[in-house]
Amino acid sequence: MLITDHHLPGDTLPDALIVNPNQPGCAFPSKNLAGVGVMFYVLLALRAELLRRGVFNEKTKPNLAELLDLVALGTVADVVKLDANNRLLVAQGLKRMRGGRARPGIQALFAAAGRKPEKAGAEDLGFVVGPRLNAAGRLADMTVGIECLLAPDMASALPLARELDQLNRARREIEADMQDQALALLDGIRVADGASLTLFDPAWHQGVVGLLASRLKERHHRPTIIFADGGDGLLKGSGRAIPGLHLRDTLDAVDRRAPGLILKFGGHAAAAGLTIRRERFDEFKAFFETVAHESLSPADLTRVIETDGELGSAEFTLENAQSLADTVWGQGFPTPLFQAEFNVQSQRLVGEKHLKLRLAGGGINAEAILFFQDSPLPERIQAVFRLEVNEWNGNRDLQLNLAHWAGA
């Protein structure tokens, strides 16, 4: 239910975000609110109640709109489902960032990453700001990230943001090394013959196992659990699931079949964490494979890439790419993906691990980028891509960002 709370002109909350808890039947406007979104609405309701009780008046009540940059960041970074209400929260937070009203810590994180907050999008929160904050908790002490977000000015925020940026670079290097090691472990395994992946290496870092599980799950389309040494004879694991398998329920099924095998676990449908004894790794791996095999059909284990179809040649425009960039996309509301066949006119390696391409087909001749691909593509491909605006040296051009490809 969306109800007004008579905010002041200086309080830039849109009417759709205001809640009056005194109205009969009043409730949070979305059943999908989670985490930061819930807390924000609780604060709105608390402010309304304290205003009613006379704790402060219309002129002295706190401006909760100032929290919307944090609400947006938390919603995207926590991978909350972006229903209409959550998209509204994120859009308002991004509006503050683009208008130069983000808190110093967020502005400093953009600066440390070489990004401009005035062009902030939801992807920047999920892939630029969020990972830098998370890197502190993964590799060091989350206090650094908290201090950065609480910093009162840029002078105190920038050193913390640069430290977080360095931690994130170290995290990426550790993750890349772990991924190479994991792929080497899989060299002698026919992944397609099984319904799951479970891997362990004593050198792997506990703070990065979840990221590695996510990468391998995406690459092989199998529910994946990665373990690291937890000390004292324990292994601590993090898992990611594919559609069709509820990971937390799967671990519960393993626990019921083999009581005591899992010392503790928790999570939800898509992700979970657990602890086992090191000497029981092979036993757990076998039980997890059995339950996953029983839970997943051959169709579940076949990757399906959904697209929004083909674009007409007149729709490959910078304006359309900008319109898509201005919209809030994310969990439960994915960025549109399009498909087409192209001739690969040219390709070159950039940044040592990405391919810069010139693609042509269907009356289209466009620049494209394929991240984390260092081997050349065939002369003709089927491609699934996003329309993007590529900004470089003051120029703005249309670019296709390839999400998937196959030889045509």
User: Is residue 308 included in any domain, yes or no?
Assistant: no
Question: pLDDT at position 374, please?
Answer: 87
Q: Is the Cα dihedral 246, 250, 256, 260 positive or negative?
A: negative
User: Is residue 178 included in any domain, yes or no?
Assistant: no
Judged against a pLDDT cut of 70, whether residue 294 lies above it is answered with yes
Judgement on whether residues 164 and 197 belong to the same structural domain of the protein? no
Domain boundary at 295, 330, 351, which? 295
> Model confidence over 256-280: pLDDT tens digits?
999 999 999 998 888 999 999 999 9
The secondary structure of the chain in percent helix, strand, coil, rounded to multiples of 5, reads: 45, 20, 35
Closest CA to 288 of 198, 183, 181, 160: 198
Rg of the chain in Å (alpha carbons)? 24
> Model confidence over 335-374: pLDDT tens digits?
999 999 999 999 999 988 899 999 999 888 999 999 988 8
Judgement on whether residues 30 and 91 belong to the same structural domain of the protein? yes
Q: How far apart are CA 95 and CA 322, in angstroms?
A: 16
User: Is residue 321 included in any domain, yes or no?
Assistant: yes
User: Is residue 252 included in any domain, yes or no?
Assistant: yes
Q: How far apart are CA 182 and CA 228, in angstroms?
A: 12
How many domains does the structure of the chain reveal? 3
Question: pLDDT at position 13, please?
Answer: 53
> Model confidence over 350-360: pLDDT tens digits?
988 899 999 99
Domain boundary at 242, 262, 295, which? 295
> Where does residue 61 rank: exposed (0-12), middle (13-18), buried (19+ CB within 10 A)?
middle
Judgement on whether residues 156 and 28 belong to the same structural domain of the protein? yes
Out of 34-38, 191-195, 215-219, 327-331, least confident range: 34-38
Judgement on whether residues 224 and 255 belong to the same structural domain of the protein? yes
Judgement on whether residues 21 and 128 belong to the same structural domain of the protein? yes
Judgement on whether residues 193 and 165 belong to the same structural domain of the protein? no
Judgement on whether residues 340 and 209 belong to the same structural domain of the protein? no
Judged against a pLDDT cut of 60, whether residue 5 lies above it is answered with no
* DSSP codes of every residue in 328-356: --BTTBPPP-EEEEEEEEEEEEETTTEEE
Judged against a pLDDT cut of 50, whether residue 287 lies above it is answered with yes
Judged against a pLDDT cut of 50, whether residue 41 lies above it is answered with yes
Judgement on whether residues 94 and 232 belong to the same structural domain of the protein? no
Judged against a pLDDT cut of 60, whether residue 93 lies above it is answered with yes
Judgement on whether residues 203 and 131 belong to the same structural domain of the protein? no
Q: The pTM is what?
A: 0.77
Judgement on whether residues 254 and 215 belong to the same structural domain of the protein? yes
Beta-bridge mates of residue 226? 199, 238
User: Is residue 9 included in any domain, yes or no?
Assistant: no
What does the block give as tokens for 385? 């891509």
User: Quick one: CA torsion of 175, 181, 187, 191, rounded to 10 degrees?
Assistant: -40
Question: pLDDT at position 85, please?
Answer: 86
Question: pLDDT at position 35, please?
Answer: 66
User: Is residue 383 included in any domain, yes or no?
Assistant: yes
CATH code of the domain in which 277 resides: 3.10.310.30
CATH code of the domain in which 317 resides: 2.40.50.460
Spatial neighbors of 28 by CB under 8 A, at least 6 apart, are: 19, 38, 41
**Containing domain of residue 42, as a range?**
15-169
Judged against a pLDDT cut of 50, whether residue 49 lies above it is answered with yes
CATH code of the domain in which 109 resides: 3.90.1640.30
pLDDT over 90 percentage in the chain: 69
> Model confidence over 383-408: pLDDT tens digits?
999 999 998 888 899 999 999 999 98
Mean pLDDT rounded to a whole number for the chain: 88
> Model confidence over 231-245: pLDDT tens digits?
999 999 999 999 999
User: Is residue 68 included in any domain, yes or no?
Assistant: yes
Q: What are phi and psi of 316, to 5 degrees?
A: -80, 80
Spatial neighbors of 329 by CB under 8 A, at least 6 apart, are: 82, 122, 123, 335, 336
Judgement on whether residues 337 and 402 belong to the same structural domain of the protein? yes
Judgement on whether residues 201 and 131 belong to the same structural domain of the protein? no
pLDDT over 70 percentage in the chain: 91
Stretch 116-128: mean pLDDT: 92
At residue 332 the predicted structure's pLDDT band, cuts being 50, 70 and 90, is confident
Out of 5-14, 41-50, 131-140, 302-311, least confident range: 5-14
Highest mean pLDDT (candidates 2-16, 29-43, 173-187)? 173-187
Q: How far apart are CA 334 and CA 219, in angstroms?
A: 19
Q: How far apart are CA 344 and CA 401, in angstroms?
A: 14
User: Is residue 303 included in any domain, yes or no?
Assistant: no
